[in-house]
């Protein structure tokens, strides 16, 4: 080797060493919270998803542990842009505020939380003062939760139908009760979303179909009463998912996800989620898509499989 070549080689070695040292120092100065999440996940994928797929607080328990704030951090480090928590209203107010603060730091959204979903009783289908009083208390609590957490949506299931009353009277009562609830939500800017549930998993409930939910929302005629479209339930109840999304579009505010059969992650059943996500993206949908489903594989490997499934569906 010539003297010139040797000097060049030494310079390259010094640059390589300095670069490696700098990278090492940078890794040591990593934010401790990110470092902890990275260790738990075996690495992180900071590339953000195109859509706001929202795991529940507790979904990645094998990686993130039991603390809700650690779930937010882990989800963010995996590229998720939202989370949801059906039971948010039942959490302590100070914890609600901490969750909201962590989501704000991570630039993440919060999907709908449940305000009322009693599957055991007749409620919205009845024209009764005591039902209105109960709904008032539920919705006022939802408004207070939304104020603490900056939540945009709260979920309502209208309960069971009545077997001794004509269906049209029940529908009229549901509409009037939803108007009452929407008026409570409106001053706080909180959008109430009603969820149709399939009658095979949940027999006896009043609200079962997307066209039915659409008709009711049009009758309520409020920007604070919309639909959460759970594609798992709708695949069972009526299928025809994309056309039903398009026909109900003006009244849809959020989505729930789950493949059918099995109610597990995308790719485990018959629904073409990649096409659905592509369609929603094309329509300009910017709301949350709550991952209200289970995992097809147990343990950490199952959690990794879910993340991989969403990466595949998000690659449209």
SS3 54: strand
pLDDT band at 44 (very low <50, low <70, confident <90, very high): low
Average pLDDT, the chain: 90
pLDDT of res. 35: 42
For residue 187, what are the β-bridge partners? none
CA dist 71 and 103 (Å) reads: 11
pTM: 0.85
| Average pLDDT rounded to a whole number, residues 266-282 | 98
Question: Which of the 8 DSSP states describes residue 187?
Answer: G
Tokens, residue 281: 């993206």
Of 59, 153, 73, 142, nearest to 107 by C-alpha is 73
Residue 27: is its pLDDT beyond 50? no
Residue 233: is its pLDDT beyond 80? yes
CA dist 153 and 56 (Å) reads: 15
Element (H, E) at 289: strand 288-290
pLDDT of res. 31: 46
For residue range 162-186, what is the model confidence (pLDDT) as tens digits? 999 999 999 999 999 999 999 999 9
| Average pLDDT rounded to a whole number, residues 104-113 | 98
Of 170, 187, 268, nearest to 224 by C-alpha is 187
209 vs 23: which has the higher pLDDT: 209
pLDDT of res. 46: 66
Residue 11: is its pLDDT beyond 60? no
| Average pLDDT rounded to a whole number, residues 98-104 | 98
Of 279, 311, 285, 287, nearest to 111 by C-alpha is 287
SS3 178: helix
pLDDT band at 73 (very low <50, low <70, confident <90, very high): very high
Tokens, residue 84: 């949801």
């Amino acid at each position: 080797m010539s003297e010139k070549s040797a000097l060049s080689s030494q310079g390259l070695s010094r640059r390589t060493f300095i670069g490696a040292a700098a990278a090492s120092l940078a890794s040591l100065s990593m934010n401790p919270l990110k470092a902890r999440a990275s260790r738990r996940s075996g690495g992180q994928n900071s590339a953000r998803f195109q859509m706001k797929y929202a795991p529940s607080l507790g979904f990645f328990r094998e990686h993130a542990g039991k603390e809700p704030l650690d779930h937010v951090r882990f989800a963010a480090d995996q590229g998720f842009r939202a989370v949801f928590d059906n039971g948010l209203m039942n959490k302590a107010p100070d914890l609600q505020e901490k969750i909201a603060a962590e989501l704000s730091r991570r630039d993440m959204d919060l999907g709908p939380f449940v305000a009322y979903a009693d599957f055991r009783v007749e409620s919205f289908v009845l024209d009764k003062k005591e039902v209105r009083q109960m709904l008032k208390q539920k919705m006022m609590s939802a408004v207070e939760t939304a104020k603490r957490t900056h939540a945009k949506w709260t979920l309502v299931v209208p309960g069971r139908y009545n077997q001794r009353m004509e269906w049209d009277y029940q529908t009229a009562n549901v509409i009037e009760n939803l108007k009452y609830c929407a008026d409570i939500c409106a001053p706080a800017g909180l959008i109430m979303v009603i969820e149709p549930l399939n009658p095979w998993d949940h027999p006896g409930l009043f609200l079962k179909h997307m066209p039915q939910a659409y008709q009711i929302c049009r009758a309520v005629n409020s920007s604070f009463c919309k639909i959460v479209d759970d594609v798992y339930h709708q695949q069972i109840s009526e299928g025809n998912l994309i056309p039903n999304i398009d026909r109900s579009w003006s009244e849809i505010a959020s989505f729930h996800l789950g493949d059918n059969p099995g109610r597990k992650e995308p790719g485990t059943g018959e629904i073409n989620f990649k096409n659905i996500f592509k369609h929603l993206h094309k329509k300009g949908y910017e709301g949350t898509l709550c991952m209200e489903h289970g995992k097809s594989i147990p343990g950490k490997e199952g959690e990794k499989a879910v993340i991989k499934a969403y990466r595949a569906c998000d690659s449209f």
